[in-house]
Amino acid sequence: MCGICCVVTLCSQHAIHDFFNKDILCRLRRRGPDSSQQLIKTVSDLSYECLFSGHVLHLRGLVTPQPLEDANNNIFLWNGEIFNGVHVGDLENDTEVVFHHLALCSSEADILSLFSSLRGPWSFIYYQASRHSLWFGRDYFGRRSLLWQFSNEVDSAFCLTSVSVYSESGNQWQEVPASGIFKIDLKACATTKSLSLTLFPWKYSCTEKTAEEIFLNVLDQVSKDLPNHIHLVMNESKLCLRAPVIPLNKMISEALGECPGTNTSNIIHAISVETLQGFLAEEPRKKLVCQFIDVLNEAVKRRVLSLFRDEGQKTREVPSMSNRKAHVAVLFSGGIDSMVIAALADKHVPLEEPIDLLNVAFMIKEQAKQKGTAKKHTSQEVKLDLLCPQESCQDLDAKTGAHLSCFDVPDRITGRAGLKELEAINPSRTWNFVEINVTLEELKKMRQQCINHLIYPLDTVLDDSIGCALWFASRGEGFISNQGELKPYKSPAKVVLTGIGADEQLAGYSRHRVCFKKYGLEGLNKELEVDLDRISSRNLGRDDRIIGDHGKEARFPFLDEDVVSFLNSLPISEKADLTLPRGIGEKLILRLAAKEFGLTASTILPKRAVQFGSRIAKLESNSEKASDTCSRLKLFSVDEL
């Protein structure tokens, strides 16, 4: 994980520092606390100047300060991880490896071939000195943040950065679209005093669309959000990047596709863990589930082993208890996604090393009304509506860690239950269940101080709820149980595993059921395709900025390229069955996988979004829609809070 930034001016009348915000520098340093440095490149005869700022979080090989510069004056900034595609040795640093390969590229096609081969999350900025070219972009899914801002037409300056600061006026920041890689010819732009971007889009290796169709579609999408004086053009050679995953399989059998929602012959009304066992009795299905386990297991393995550990912690076979520092944490609700990730991480994290389970809860503000007409819970549901009177939380002392029922939100309850399952699977592992309790006062304070800047340029109620929940969870400050008592604890883990991507691929959201009932499997397929296409702009840039603010790196096993390709290869009927009830039909293949390797009650928990499970959505307003612009993300003075 790194914070990277580049500022370019095309007019000698302006100093480069006029466009470099010191607040942005501060936020970049939070992302990369292990090394910070800057480099200014001035090309006086062409009247352009570039500032490169690199801030490194050390995770692999030797600490490698950025920006890197070679003997040919090429300059490289890298925020990513290489898990496959290009070899990175155990003691090597991936920044140096990628820069070395870039130096060997002699053409645009070579550069595109290199980035097409990379597997893992990345964003980068590369200055190619011999051609006065600036290359930049994000990986196919946009798992690493990169923002851009363009000055007005007169100033002729622009900036690229991992994170920005909220601004109500002036030139607005936007996320760089994860549509491909961009190139700027600085020599041509300095001559014309106008900015032109050349795009090299992603393209499936086997697709019916021509290069022209792909270009027209992507150019239209990207151009509509650019200022009028910024020109976006296709590259003259019509070169594309090869997408790292295969297209979505949209095949539908006639029997399944005719009457959506009416095939009730296999609907199960009272589901249980044994229900899943019945599915696994079908040999073809069980074989498919085992294949899924293998590919997901490998994805988790890459993400928990590709990081620096002290000597003696590199193998599972030496159970030394001398060093109990956690290197890996899981954003943990006890739901199916986080349970599967934690259970698979346990297979590869050295046995003597704890795994931190980060569980966030926002203080409940109202007492549940216990009425005779209260809804009845079915046998498979956990009672989740345990609220407490506001007055019992008035004297909350965050330093004591005393158990207070006002933090018994749904995710806390299922999280504790999930902890017991994991302890049963591996009682030898130290599982640090970190109870992270957030009061309304602290939420308001930290949102105003920093979280609003990290969510920006996104601005909806949903962004606020998820962003705040992720920020407090990934900070990892809370309490763990020590011999029956809660003790203060702060997770030292630099790697944070998250389950994002499972719902988007396996029909996990409630809107997927609505779509299925209205439009059948064909409509559901289209919805899932859109979900994965827009995950970069809806989720991943924001989540990277949020988690990276703590000097930690988000890693996404469900968005591993091999995992996505495997799931894309399957027809929807093999991944989910939305004729079945909640808690089993959505993400069916994942539930079967969890049952196969030993999980129990968590395998049939219904999907619950973090904003509801953590109760942040209930804390400040009950009348908002998720898509509304969130007024709380605007800048206010402390007195107004």
pLDDT digits (tens, 9 = 90+) for 190-233: 888 889 999 999 998 766 667 778 888 888 889 988 998 899 99
Q: Are 405 and 390 in contact (CB under 8 A)?
A: no
If pLDDT is split at 50, 70 and 90, which confidence band does 13 have? low
Give the per-residue pLDDT at 634. 82
Per-residue pLDDT reduced to its tens digit, 109-157: 999 999 999 999 999 999 999 999 999 999 999 999 999 999 877 678 8
Residue type, 295: V
Provide, for the chain, the percentages of residues in helix, strand and coil under a 3-state DSSP scheme, each rounded to the nearest 5.
Answer: 40, 20, 45
Q: What are the two backbone dihedrals, phi and then psi, of residue 219, each rounded to the nearest 5 degrees? A: -60, -40
Give the per-residue pLDDT at 14. 67
Q: Is the pLDDT at 257 greater than 70, yes or no?
A: no
User: CB-side exposure of 620: number of CA atoms within 13 Å?
Assistant: 23
Mean pLDDT for the chain overall = 87
Q: Is the pLDDT at 387 greater than 50, yes or no?
A: no
Q: Are 28 and 162 in contact (CB under 8 A)?
A: yes
Residues 2, 159, 450, 630: which is the catalytic one? 2
Set out the domains of the chain in order of their start, with CATH numbers.
2-242 (3.60.20.10), 286-309+332-364+382-640 (3.40.50.620)
If pLDDT is split at 50, 70 and 90, which confidence band does 400 have? low
Give the per-residue pLDDT at 539. 93
The counts of H helices and E strands in the chain are 21, 21
* 312 vs 505 pLDDT, higher one: 505
Tell me the C-alpha distance between 286 and 294, whole Å.
12
Tell me the C-alpha distance between 88 and 68, whole Å.
17
- The span from the first CA to the last CA of the chain, in angstroms, equals 33
In the sheet with 485-490, reading across from the earlier edge strand, the strands are: 485-490, 477-482, 431-438, 355-362, 328-331, 495-497, 553-555
Residue 15 CB neighbour total at 10 angstroms:
10
Give the per-residue pLDDT at 433. 97
Give the per-residue pLDDT at 367. 44
Specify the pTM: 0.90
Give the per-residue pLDDT at 402. 54
Per-residue pLDDT reduced to its tens digit, 332-373: 999 999 999 999 999 999 999 999 999 999 998 754 433 333
**DSSP annotation of 491:** -
Per-residue pLDDT reduced to its tens digit, 517-526: 999 999 999 9
Q: What would the mean pLDDT of 528-543 be, rounded to a whole number?
A: 95
Give the per-residue pLDDT at 483. 82
Q: Are 607 and 508 in contact (CB under 8 A)?
A: yes
Q: What would the mean pLDDT of 262-272 be, rounded to a whole number?
A: 53
Cα–Cα distance list, 410 to 323, 405, 461, 582 (Å) = 33, 11, 20, 17
The alpha carbon of 641 is separated from its chain's Cα centroid by a whole number of angstroms, namely 30
User: CB-side exposure of 509: number of CA atoms within 13 Å?
Assistant: 14
Partners of 4 in beta bridges: 54
Tell me the C-alpha distance between 330 and 442, whole Å.
23
Q: Is the pLDDT at 566 greater than 60, yes or no?
A: yes
Residue with tokens 């790697």: 495
If pLDDT is split at 50, 70 and 90, which confidence band does 77 have? very high
Cα maximum dimension of the chain: 82
Which of 405, 336, 378, 346 lies closest to 585, judged by CA? Answer: 336
* 613 vs 199 pLDDT, higher one: 199
Cα–Cα distance list, 83 to 42, 143, 385 (Å) = 35, 13, 42
* 435 vs 265 pLDDT, higher one: 435
**DSSP annotation of 379:** T
**DSSP annotation of 130:** G
By three-state DSSP, how is residue 330 classified? strand
The alpha carbon of 61 is separated from its chain's Cα centroid by a whole number of angstroms, namely 23
If pLDDT is split at 50, 70 and 90, which confidence band does 182 have? very high
Q: What would the mean pLDDT of 569-575 be, rounded to a whole number?
A: 96
If pLDDT is split at 50, 70 and 90, which confidence band does 491 have? very high
Tell me the C-alpha distance between 222 and 224, whole Å.
6
By three-state DSSP, how is residue 203 classified? strand
**DSSP annotation of 235:** -
Tell me the C-alpha distance between 391 and 313, whole Å.
47
Give the per-residue pLDDT at 254. 58
Give the per-residue pLDDT at 374. 41
Tell me the C-alpha distance between 300 and 562, whole Å.
11
Q: Is the pLDDT at 510 greater than 80, yes or no?
A: yes
Q: Is the pLDDT at 389 greater than 60, yes or no?
A: no
Four-point Cα dihedral 460, 462, 463, 468, nearest 10: 130
Cα–Cα distance list, 174 to 161, 177, 185, 459 (Å) = 10, 9, 21, 12
Q: Are 67 and 2 in contact (CB under 8 A)?
A: no
Question: Is 26 annotated in the active site?
Answer: no
Tell me the residue length of the chain.
641
If pLDDT is split at 50, 70 and 90, which confidence band does 376 have? very low
Task: Classify residue 273 as exposed, middle or buried by CB count within 10 Å of its CB (0-12, 13-18, 19+).
Answer: middle
Contacts of 513 (CB under 8 A, 6+ apart): 507, 578, 582, 586
Give the per-residue pLDDT at 323. 53
Residue type, 637: S
Give the per-residue pLDDT at 482. 84
Contacts of 572 (CB under 8 A, 6+ apart): 249, 250, 252, 507, 521, 524, 525, 528
Q: What would the mean pLDDT of 87-115 be, rounded to a whole number?
A: 95
Percent of the chain with pLDDT over 90: 68
Tell me the C-alpha distance between 624 and 465, whole Å.
11
